[in-house]
């Protein structure tokens, strides 16, 4: 009988403690919301700036898996208006299919960095939508190469009952060749 009463007391204490925590949390949230109402509009008008050094991203990237059934290669460059863009090439047969060019959003690894080491790029194929996300891959044993991990997330819009899916691929940047003029 004493054990049951101890358990009841323990549960009652837990309920009281939980109630206090919830009320404190609600009060803390209310205080936080009230403090935000005192912020001036000039403090809220800060603009997010993308990193401006795109040197790592720019270039032609080739999938290290030659047998991929996803993306074989992609090119990141500036489009005619000076905006960063991605042109991906899918694994069609007998040649790669051109997915076309789409805007790319560059990302740095932290808020203080100006070097873009990642990107996102949306593709709308009509029957499906794909979002590409690329991030720099650092591997000491391949320090002489620029490497990137690219995830492609595909959602089907055509009523085919296919599952949405994602694929992770690894790419290496093609080093430009130096030609000599004679």
Query: pLDDT tens digits, residue range 53-85?
Result: 999 999 999 999 999 999 999 999 999 999 999
Decide: 100 and 87 in contact? Cβ < 8 Å. Answer: yes
Domain spans of the chain, in order of start: 2-44, 59-173
* Dihedral sign of CA atoms 124, 125, 131, 136 in order: negative
Can you name the residues that pair with 78 across neighbouring β-strands?
84
Residues 6+ apart with CB under 8 A from 145: 172, 173
pLDDT of residue 82: 92
59-173: CATH, from 2.40.128.30, 1.10.10.60, 1.10.10.10, 3.40.50.300: 2.40.128.30
Query: Which residue is it, tokens 């109630």?
Result: 19
- Across the chain, what does the average pLDDT equal? 81
DSSP classification of residue 64: S
Q: Where are the alpha helices (DSSP H) in the chain?
A: 2-36, 41-44
């Amino acid at each position: 009988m004493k054990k049951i009463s101890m358990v009841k007391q323990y549960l009652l204490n837990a309920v009281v403690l939980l109630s206090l925590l919830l009320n404190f949390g609600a009060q803390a949230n209310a205080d936080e919301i009230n403090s935000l109402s005192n912020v001036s509009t000039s403090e809220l008008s800060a603009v997010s700036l993308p990193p401006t050094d795109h040197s790592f991203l720019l270039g032609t990237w080739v999938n290290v898996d030659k047998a991929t059934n996803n993306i074989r290669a992609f090119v990141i460059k500036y489009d005619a208006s000076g905006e960063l863009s991605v042109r991906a090439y899918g694994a069609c047969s007998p040649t790669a299919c051109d997915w076309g060019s789409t805007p790319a959003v560059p990302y740095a690894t932290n808020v203080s960095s100006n070097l873009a080491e990642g990107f996102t790029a949306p593709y709308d194929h009509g029957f499906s939508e794909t979002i590409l996300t690329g991030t720099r891959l650092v591997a000491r044993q391949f320090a002489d190469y620029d490497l990137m991990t690219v995830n492609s997330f595909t959602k089907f819009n055509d009523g085919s009952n296919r599952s949405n899916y994602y694929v992770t691929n690894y790419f290496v940047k093609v080093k430009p060749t130096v030609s000599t003029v004679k």
